[in-house]
């Protein structure tokens, strides 16, 4: 019953968003230059809201993981670049690896290695870190590592 409610709630939000965007189509066809600018502002606002929700989710998950692994300073999860140091501390990896996170393609591999270490510290199989590659499933991994037993 709960799953059905969650699915229907999610579908309701998607239909609401679709209706709002559908009503904006005639406004975009107008020749007024302010309308596309306003629509771009609306899209940017929606993107900002989604980004903030995602950031809070990741920060809460990382903070919870740090608390469960008895890592010092779990509040570092809320500071954008410093949270990488917290992830390295949780995974018991050297701090100098933070330099590797700033190299474009290497950072992708390093993130997977560090999340594999975090999964091992939480007592889960290390392949949970590899699941970050899978689109959609990568959003579930931090939450599962944080809030599962």
Range of the domain at 127: 53-147
> Is 20 among the domain residues?
no
pTM attached to this predicted model: 0.74
Mean pLDDT of 115-140: 91
The pLDDT tens digits for 35-76 are 677 788 888 888 999 999 999 999 999 999 999 999 999 999
- Examine residue 59 and state whether it is found in any structural domain, yes or no: yes
The tally of domains found in the chain comes to 1
Instruction: Check residue 52 and give its pLDDT.
Output: 95
Answer whether residue 38 is part of any domain.
Answer: no
Domain assignment of residue 132, yes or no: yes
Tokens of 95: 């701090």
Q: Does the residue 89 lie in any domain?
A: yes
CA-based nearest residue to 86, from 96, 73, 97:
73
Residue 117: HSE in the Cβ half-sphere, 13 Å Cα cutoff = 16
Domain assignment present for residue 3? The answer is no
């Amino acid at each position: 019953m709960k799953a059905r409610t969650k699915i229907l709630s999610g579908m309701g939000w998607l239909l609401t968003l679709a209706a709002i965007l559908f009503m904006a189509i005639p406004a975009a066809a107008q020749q007024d230059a302010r309308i596309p600018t306003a629509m771009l502002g609306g899209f940017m606002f929606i993107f900002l809201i989604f980004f903030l929700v995602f950031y809070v989710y990741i920060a809460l998950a990382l903070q919870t993981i740090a608390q469960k692994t008895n890592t010092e300073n779990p509040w570092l999860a809320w500071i954008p670049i410093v949270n990488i140091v917290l992830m390295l501390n949780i995974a018991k990896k050297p701090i100098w690896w933070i330099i590797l996170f700033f190299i474009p393609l290497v950072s992708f591999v390093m993130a997977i290695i560090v999340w594999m270490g975090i999964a091992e510290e939480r007592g889960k199989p290390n392949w949970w870190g590899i699941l970050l590659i899978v689109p959609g499933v990568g959003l579930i991994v931090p939450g599962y590592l944080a809030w599962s037993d």
